[in-house]
Amino acid sequence: MKATTKQVLTGAAWLAILLAMIGGIMLWQHQVHKAKPVTNVTVTSTERIPMVLLLDNRLTHNQVQQLTTNIQNSSATQTLVTAKITATGAVTFKGQLLNSDNRPYIQVQLPQNVSSTLQTQLLKQLLTAAQQQFKFRQFNLVSYGRGGIIATNYVAHTTTSLSPQHLVLMATPFNGTSRKNNSRRKTTPVATKSQTTTLAKMIAQRHTIDTKIQVLIIAGKAIKADQPLPLQSALAGQSIFKPVVKVYRQKVLRSWPTQSGLLNNHQIGNTIQTFIN
């Protein structure tokens, strides 16, 4: 039986209605499941508190990456930028922070083979430029190796406004690396007669350090054999900071008996983040 014109039109109408309903449902589902754009949070100077990394210049590129990865730990989403200054005071930045970076990382690079006095002045100049560039006032300073000596001299000669909230010193040879002057196992302060000129000078200048700085010293203890940096030297900073600051902590982590053994210790990140937070 052939369909009449009326039946054909009726069927077409119902089909159009059905297709319209299906299209409407699909459009509704698309709107419901469509990802909403993420609005960047604007960070003010008081909210952004970067972690400034002052590392030993003798570390290789891979060692620096290993250490920064361990330090970043759970906050790896935060941007890492580089701030460099020459002996003549020329400042350059590599990288740019996002508005959402409220705990970013700034790795500073200072010129070598210059006096400690000049390094302190250049670090002050570099941090001042970084504050203007990346819009922050407060910061935390994390150092490693010889960088800890520079950091210690810095906090003893800087202004209160340029002092870090937290200061972390890892594997710092406060009293050199000589086994004659340091014990590889003792955690007690170095005796006055065994102090190097560098350590004795930093102890003499400790009264100028801002007492509000919270200090953490991290040392590595070799698991099986001797280590290049004696434990007592890495903890000798206690004679500098412990009598001065209100908050002082020291932590000994097990490491392999190599110069960079502490770099590979995954506890570093948790130890630093827990202390700072």
Domain harbouring 148, CATH code: 3.40.50.1820
- The values of phi and psi at residue 196, to 5°, are -75, 165
Q: Do 30 and 79 share a domain, yes or no?
A: no
Q: Do 126 and 210 share a domain, yes or no?
A: yes
13-53 pLDDT per residue, tens: 666 665 656 555 554 444 433 433 333 333 443 589 999 99
Determine, yes or no, domain membership for 40.
no
Half-sphere exposure of 149 (CA within 13 A, CB side): 22
| Residue, of 9 and 123, whose pLDDT is higher | 123
Q: Do 29 and 145 share a domain, yes or no?
A: no
223-264 pLDDT per residue, tens: 555 567 899 999 999 999 999 999 999 999 986 555 456 777
127-146 pLDDT per residue, tens: 999 999 999 999 999 999 99
Determine, yes or no, domain membership for 254.
yes
Q: How far apart are CA 164 and CA 174, in angstroms?
A: 20
Determine, yes or no, domain membership for 45.
no
Which H/E stretch holds residue 143?
strand 140-144
| Mean pLDDT rounded to a whole number for the chain | 84
- The values of phi and psi at residue 254, to 5°, are -70, 140
Q: What is the domain extent for residue 204?
A: 51-276
Angle formed at CA 265 by CA 106 and CA 191, multiple of 5 degrees: 90
Q: How far apart are CA 126 and CA 88, in angstroms?
A: 12
Q: How many domains does the chain have?
A: 2
73-112 pLDDT per residue, tens: 756 688 999 999 999 999 999 999 999 999 999 999 999 8
Q: Do 166 and 64 share a domain, yes or no?
A: yes
Determine, yes or no, domain membership for 28.
yes
Q: Do 9 and 69 share a domain, yes or no?
A: no
Determine, yes or no, domain membership for 223.
yes
